[in-house]
Chain A
Amino acid sequence: MEHDQRGTPEGIRQYSSAMPPSASPPALELRGLVKGYRSGLFAPRRTVLDGVELALAPGESRGLIGPNGSGKSTLLRLAAGLERPTAGSVLVFGRPPLERATQARIGYLPDGFPFPPELSPRAVLELLGAFHGLPRRERGRTAERWLERVGLAGEARRALRHFSLGMRRRFGLAQAFLHGPDLLLLDEPTAGLDAQGYQVLDELTGEARARGAALLVATHVPSDLQDTCERCSVLFSGRIVSALATADLFGGRSLLAGLYRTLAQGHQP
């Protein structure tokens, strides 16, 4: 699936990228995924993802690293069904992510904050619970439980617009895990979190892995993946160029910077 042997610095092991054979469809399968954007009506299309191939088995946890602008967030947005690919396909458990039944199996923590700032976290969680088919009587209790879980019980009725970055990220975690999804797509999950937030994130991802959910975590910080993902894929210039053992990336920022530098040189004509 993932290919390219170019540009891997010494000391970093290449990981076998083949998905173990299984009867059930992959939790996430990206085939020849291309995504481009136009900045204007007559402007040329700028390609962000250029033929990405990725397969994530049910229950598998995978990290996704890459330099700024490499297309990590775009890849997660496509996987979550928030955008449509320019070419190629996205399948979540064998189905298109835009289908409502598929949406119920996806938990997505966005990089930004698309939730209505006028509403309280409790109101938004109740609404999301309703969208996911939670019975009316259980919505309030479930929302409270999740807010308590992420440490926002005291802020349940405060409008989201008054939340700090860390509180917003905690709320993001609550909404992503709310309905017990089978595929979790986490975009920079540790950004803005404090030590307690890290702990909550570790607990939630641990529980999700224990119940067999698949995880795809996009991050700039390999140590974030330490307890969650054994492997990680490197996204560079819109392509997945390597599948690595996460433990090999703990050598600090300089190691990762070296990797990106080497990849950049390898891509130059």
Chain B
Amino acid sequence: MHARLVALTIRRILPWPLALGIGALLLTSVLRSGSAPWLATGEEALLRAARRLDAWGISLVFAWPLLVARSGLLGATRRNEWLAPAPAAGAALAHLAGVLVAVLAVVSGTALCAELAAGSAPHGWQTMRRFATPAGALFPGRPVHWEEPGLAHDDGGALRLRIAVTVAPGSGPAATLRFEARTRTESASVEERVAARTHIDLDLDHLERDGQPLVLELASVGQGALPVLLPDGLQELRPIDSERAQSLELALRAAGTLAVACALALGLAGWMRPALAAVLAIALVLVPLQLGPGARWFPAGDLARAWGDVAAGLAPASLPWSAWAGALAVVAAAGALHGLALRTRPEAP
């Protein structure tokens, strides 16, 4: 692999005018983002999250498609004719390395700008797991309760449960909800007034579980609107040292998703028109996004959910190893496809 060819690839994927443009847009987001909305006390984390997502949004809308399109151009057969004397595998590897470095540069630049925009980074919370809930309407005097064995183990650390609820439209202005968690011996509960789609947090720091199954109960208290418990709406949250983990987790997913998209565009461009290769690469990356969290083999699988977590002021859960294995396999396959195109010179489209 020729270092000079890697450097040339980076220049071709991310030429300085493009890098400068992206940098300027990101800096604008640092300086101008985050007009102060009406926030309740203690909800500053949401404002910081919004500032973070401003930077990530600019990157997603402007930088990512450009990078994928330029990767497609790089893989075009005609553009690589001058590499005919080069070993195809070495040239393909150099191209792939250059593309990955460019991806890392854009993602880390975005993460840096996102953190500059967000400002201070106090302790935060990270989503560890999500649980299914018995979704449905909560009628007065008929609380919903269910057992969650996944929360039986007590590792001694702080634990917060967050449950997503809303009120049925037209049923009234608001309702009071009581969320309770109990073991055989102890219980903890919280009561909140709910007027729209929101969440209720319940801290379980002092609840001794010791392997006892945790029984959860949600009840509508008094008169008011008809509350609704949302499906898959229970989250297990753990405290983290710094809120910056939000950008870190998002950056890991972004790097994996963008690397896969760019590698696919590079690999496919030798066999079809570069523009078509770029569009197809984006479409293929969107497939696991559509499949949702079930698609654990690709970093794009829970990108939307991770985005939602950050918007809610939470750090997304760490990516499973299977996502990295899936990304690596696709990048390797795309690299092999590019190498094959360099070696066999299929008919130029």
Cβ–Cβ contact A98 & B4, under 8 A = no
One digit per residue, 1 when the CB lies within 8 angstroms of any chain B CB and 0 when it does not, for chain A 100-133 equals 1001100010100011101100011011101110
State in angstroms the CA–CA spacing of A132 and B87 once bound together. Answer: 9
A179 to chain B, nearest CB (A): 8
Cβ–Cβ contact A114 & B78, under 8 A = yes
* Stretch in B164-172, B314-322, B341-349 with 4+ CB within 8 Å of A: B341-349
Which chain B positions have C-beta within 8 A of A100?
85, 87
Cβ of A80 within 8 Å of any chain B Cβ, yes or no, is yes
Q: Among A104, A116, A118, A132, find the residue whose CB has the most chain B CB atoms closer than 10 A.
A: A116
In the complex, which of the residues B8, B84, B87 contacts A82, with contact meaning CB atoms closer than 8 Å?
A: B84
State in angstroms the CA–CA spacing of A100 and B86 once bound together. Answer: 8
Cβ of B32 within 8 Å of any chain A Cβ, yes or no, is no
State in angstroms the CA–CA spacing of A114 and B347 once bound together. Answer: 17
In the complex, which of the residues B8, B78, B82, B85 contacts A104, with contact meaning CB atoms closer than 8 Å?
A: B85
State in angstroms the CA–CA spacing of A80 and B345 once bound together. Answer: 11
Which chain B positions have C-beta within 8 A of A110?
81
Cβ–Cβ contact A82 & B85, under 8 A = no
Cβ of B79 within 8 Å of any chain A Cβ, yes or no, is yes
Which chain B positions have C-beta within 8 A of A108?
84
State in angstroms the CA–CA spacing of A114 and B79 once bound together. Answer: 6
One digit per residue, 1 when the CB lies within 8 angstroms of any chain B CB and 0 when it does not, for chain A 72-100 equals 00000000111110000000000000101
State in angstroms the CA–CA spacing of A103 and B85 once bound together. Answer: 6
Cβ–Cβ contact A81 & B345, under 8 A = yes
One digit per residue, 1 when the CB lies within 8 angstroms of any chain B CB and 0 when it does not, for chain A 186-221 equals 000000000000000000000000000000000000
Cβ–Cβ contact B81 & A114, under 8 A = yes
* Complex: chain B residue closest to A86, CB-CB: B347
Cβ of A15 within 8 Å of any chain B Cβ, yes or no, is no
State in angstroms the CA–CA spacing of A84 and B343 once bound together. Answer: 11
Cβ–Cβ contact A98 & B344, under 8 A = yes
Which chain B positions have C-beta within 8 A of A132?
85
Cβ–Cβ contact B347 & A130, under 8 A = no
Q: Among B4, B81, B85, B347, find the residue whose CB has the most chain A CB atoms closer than 10 A.
A: B85
Which chain B positions have C-beta within 8 A of A114?
78-79, 81-82
State in angstroms the CA–CA spacing of A103 and B345 once bound together. Answer: 13
Residues of B in contact (CB 8 Å), total 22
State in angstroms the CA–CA spacing of A108 and B85 once bound together. Answer: 11
Which chain B positions have C-beta within 8 A of A179?
85
Cβ–Cβ contact A82 & B86, under 8 A = no
Cβ of B5 within 8 Å of any chain A Cβ, yes or no, is yes
Which chain B positions have C-beta within 8 A of A116?
8, 12, 82
A109 to chain B, nearest CB (A): 12
One digit per residue, 1 when the CB lies within 8 angstroms of any chain A CB and 0 when it does not, for chain B 2-41 equals 1011001001100100000000000000000000000000
A143 to chain B, nearest CB (A): 12
Cβ–Cβ contact B82 & A115, under 8 A = yes
B275 to chain A, nearest CB (A): 14
State in angstroms the CA–CA spacing of A118 and B14 once bound together. Answer: 12
Within 8 A of B (CB), among A53-83: 80-83
Cβ of B284 within 8 Å of any chain A Cβ, yes or no, is no
A: interface residue count bin: 20 to 34
Which chain A positions have C-beta within 8 A of B5?
127
Cβ–Cβ contact A81 & B84, under 8 A = yes
State in angstroms the CA–CA spacing of A124 and B83 once bound together. Answer: 10
Which chain A positions have C-beta within 8 A of B79?
114
* Complex: chain B residue closest to A175, CB-CB: B82
Cβ–Cβ contact B82 & A118, under 8 A = no
In the complex, which of the residues A37, A98, A128 contacts B345, with contact meaning CB atoms closer than 8 Å?
A: A98
Cβ–Cβ contact B86 & A84, under 8 A = no
State in angstroms the CA–CA spacing of A38 and B349 once bound together. Answer: 8
Which chain B positions have C-beta within 8 A of A83?
345, 347-348
Which chain A positions have C-beta within 8 A of B12?
116, 118
Within 8 A of A (CB), among B51-98: 78-79, 81-87
Cβ–Cβ contact A82 & B81, under 8 A = yes
Q: Among B2, B82, B347, find the residue whose CB has the most chain A CB atoms closer than 10 A.
A: B82
Using known A-B contacts A100-B87, A119-B8, A130-B2, determine if residue A84 contacts B346 with beta carbons closer than 8 Å: yes
Cβ–Cβ contact A131 & B85, under 8 A = yes
Cβ–Cβ contact B348 & A127, under 8 A = no
Which chain A positions have C-beta within 8 A of B87?
100, 131
A269 to chain B, nearest CB (A): 30
Leading 6 A-B pairs by shortest Cβ distance:
A131-B86, A131-B85, A114-B81, A103-B85, A114-B82, A115-B82
Chain A residues at the B interface, C-beta cutoff of 8 Å: 37-38, 80-84, 98, 100, 103-104, 108, 110, 114-116, 118-119, 123-124, 126-128, 130-132, 179
In the complex, 14 of the A-B residue pairs with CB atoms within 8 angstroms, ordered by the A residue number, are A82-B81, A82-B84, A83-B348, A98-B343, A100-B85, A108-B84, A110-B81, A114-B78, A114-B81, A115-B82, A118-B11, A123-B4, A131-B86, A131-B87
Q: A38-B347, A98-B343, A124-B82 are in contact. List 15 more A-B contacts (CB 8 A).
A: A84-B344, A84-B347, A103-B85, A108-B84, A110-B81, A114-B78, A114-B81, A114-B82, A115-B82, A118-B12, A118-B15, A127-B5, A128-B85, A130-B2, A179-B85
